[in-house]
Every structure is written in structure tokens, then in C-alpha cells.
């Protein structure tokens, strides 16, 4: 399965997820169904941030594209997901910010690794970026930056790649349950930690692991591209523009 096909699957799943979010008050059944489909999107996006960095000839230009997409997406993101049609919302930043931070961590990883030859200190920037993502409230925050790092640390050509991809996807899908277990254990040691009960949403996240069923069939190829350079560039940038544009359309329909 080519990168183009997987990316199209991811953006369609993402769009359905966002439509479902806006259907919560109108049809809970539709909300659940569409949001379940949407669980597969984020692991695929994180996988291709790692793959994109592995294959790009200009990491800084790649990062710049994500940064511009993040800036263009912030107002549409807040309009779509904030009550009261607020264009600015403190502590809530769009997912392009998270993807940018994940990529920034990889850029610094390779810079440090190329100069020290050591992997352990090289992963520290990604860990810091993950904490920063959580601190500023970017969508999917800490977990997605870590997932980008984990996807990058395995060679997709390795004989262990399939098992690794499945493990990372399952880890991401079970993150809220694992967080609940950890907090429950810590709460036994100190009453200062309170633990909220698990909700349906926490279990719904498990379906993110299904993304592995798609990712393991990735063939390492970009997919069929237009021969014309302008058309090829249009396809390339459409994936960046789809995010803010579809958010604006959803906001307009459901406002």
C-alpha cells in the first residue's frame, strides 16, 4: 500500500472523526460510529512524519511547511472545536503544532547523534518536545510526539518492523487505560493523587491499534504521482491545506 493511499485513508478518517464530534448533541450513535473510525488517523499521521523525515532532502523546509500549516489551522481549529465560535482558545492548539514538535524532535535527534554517535542523549529533545506539547495543550500532545519518535527509531525494512508497528499502535491506543492504571497505583501511595473512573472514550481509543493493520502493508513507495510538476506540487500541498479547509467547512455547516 503506497503512502498516497494511506494518507488519503487517514485524512478521510480524520474528517469523519471531526464530523462525528459535531454530531454529539444530535445523534450519539453517529457520534460513536464516526469517532471510532477516526481513531486510526493519528497513528498514520505520526508514522508518516517519521517516514517523511527519513526521506526528505530538506528537513528544515519540511518543518517550515508544517509550521505554516499549524499557523493557518489554528483559527479554523478553534472555530470548529470551541463553544461560542472563539477564534482563540488558551491551552488548546491544533494537531499540526503537535506534528511540528514531533518533527523538530527528530531534527535535533539527528543533529546530536551525528555529532556524538550516541542515541540516548539524542532522544532527549523529543522527550522535551513531548512535555512541551503537553504543557501548551496541543492536540494529542505528549503521546503523539513520543509515537513519532518510536516510529522513527525502527527501520521499516527490518524483519521486526511489523511487530514494532503493531506494538507502538497498541501502546498509543491503550494510553488512557495505562495512564489510569499508573495513577491508580500511585494513588495507593499518596492521597494527593485522585483518579477519575474510566469512560467510554478511554476504551474507544483502543481502536487506534487498528491503524497497524494498514501500516504493516506500507510498501515504502510514494504512490502514483502526476507527471506535471505543478500538479505534483498541488497534490503535495493539498495534504497540508486539507486540515484547515475541512475544519472551516465543518464549522460552517454545524455553526
For residue range 122-170, list pLDDT tens digits in order: 999 999 999 999 999 999 999 999 999 999 998 777 778 889 999 999 9
- Closest Cα partner for 219 from 8, 41, 4? 4
pTM, whole model, 2 decimals?
Answer: 0.90
Show the low-confidence residues of the chain (pLDDT under 70): 83-91
Query: Tell me, what's the pLDDT at 151?
Result: 94
Instruction: Look at residue 86 in the predicted model and tell me its pLDDT.
Output: 52
Dist CA 60 CA 225 (whole Å): 23
For 4, the enclosing helix (H) or strand (E) is helix 3-22
For 73-95, the pLDDT digits (tens) are: 999 999 888 765 555 555 579 99
- Residue 1 sits at the vertex; the CA angle it makes with 39 and 18, to the nearest 5 degrees, is 25
CA atoms within 13 A on the CB side of 158: 12
Q: How many residues does the chain have?
A: 255
State residue 235's pLDDT score.
75
**What's the pLDDT score for residue 18?**
94
Distance of CA 9 to the CA centre of its chain: 14
Work out how many domains the chain is built from and give that number: 1
Residue numbers of the domain that contains 189: 3-254
In this prediction, residue 89 carries a pLDDT of 56
The three grid cell numbers given for residue 140, joined into one nine-digit string: 494529542
Amino acid at each position: 500500500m503506497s503512502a498516497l493511499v494511506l494518507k488519503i485513508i487517514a485524512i478521510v478518517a480524520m474528517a469523519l472523526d471531526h464530523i462525528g464530534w459535531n454530531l454529539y448533541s444530535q445523534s450519539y450513535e453517529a457520534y460513536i460510529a464516526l469517532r471510532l473510525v477516526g481513531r486510526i488517523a493519528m497513528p498514520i499521521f505520526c508514522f508518516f512524519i517519521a517516514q517523511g523525515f527519513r526521506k526528505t532532502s530538506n528537513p528544515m523546509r519540511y518543518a517550515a511547511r508544517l509550521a505554516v500549516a499549524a499557523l493557518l489551522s489554528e483559527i479554523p481549529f478553534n472555530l470548529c472545536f470551541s463553544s461560542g465560535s472563539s477564534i482563540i482558545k488558551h491551552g488548546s492548539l491544533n494537531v499540526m503544532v503537535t506534528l511540528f514538535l514531533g518533527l523538530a524532535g527528530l531534527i535535533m535527534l539527528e543533529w546530536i547523534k551525528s555529532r556524538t554517535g550516541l542515541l540516548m542523549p539524542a532522544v532527549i529533545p523529543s522527550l522535551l518536545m513531548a512535555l512541551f506539547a503537553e504543557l501548551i495543550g496541543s492536540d494529542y500532545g505528549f503521546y503523539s510526539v513520543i509515537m513519532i519518535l518510536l516510529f522513527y527509531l525502527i527501520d521499516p525494512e527490518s524483519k521486526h518492523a511489523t511487530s514494532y508497528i503493531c506494538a507502538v499502535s497498541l501502546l498509543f491506543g491503550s494510553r488512557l487505560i495505562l495512564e489510569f492504571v499508573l495513577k491508580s497505583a500511585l494513588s495507593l501511595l499518596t492521597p494527593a493523587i485522585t483518579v477519575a473512573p474510566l469512560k467510554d472514550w478511554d476504551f474507544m481509543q483502543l481502536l487506534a491499534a487498528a491503524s497497524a493493520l494498514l501500516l504493516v502493508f506500507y510498501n515504502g513507495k510514494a504512490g502514483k504521482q502526476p507527471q506535471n510538476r505543478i500538479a505534483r506540487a498541488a497534490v503535495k500541498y493539498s495534504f497540508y491545506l486539507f486540515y484547515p479547509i475541512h475544519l472551516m467547512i465543518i464549522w460552517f455547516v454545524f455553526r
